[in-house]
Amino acid sequence: MASEIDFYVGKRLRRRRRLLGLTQQQLAESVGIRFQQIQKYECGANRISASRLFELSGALHVPVQYFYEGLADDDDVESSALSPDILSQKETMDLVRAYYNLAEGPRRRLLDLAKSLNVD
pTM for this predicted structure: 0.64
Range of the domain at 94: 89-120
67 shares its domain with 29: yes
State the pLDDT at residue 90.
82
65 shares its domain with 100: no
What is the DSSP track for 24-74? HHHHHHHHTS-HHHHHHHHHTSSPPPHHHHHHHHHHTTS-GGGGGTTSTTH
User: Among the listed ranges 28-42, 51-65, 105-119, which one has the minimum average pLDDT value?
Assistant: 105-119
% of the chain beyond a pLDDT of 90:
52
9 shares its domain with 66: yes
25 shares its domain with 73: yes
66 shares its domain with 36: yes
105 shares its domain with 49: no
* 20-48 pLDDT tens trace: 999 999 999 999 999 999 999 999 999 99
* 95-106 pLDDT tens trace: 888 888 999 899
User: What is the distance of C-alpha 21 from the center of its chain?
Assistant: 11
* C-alpha–C-alpha distance, residues 23 and 31, integer Å: 13
State the pLDDT at residue 82.
58
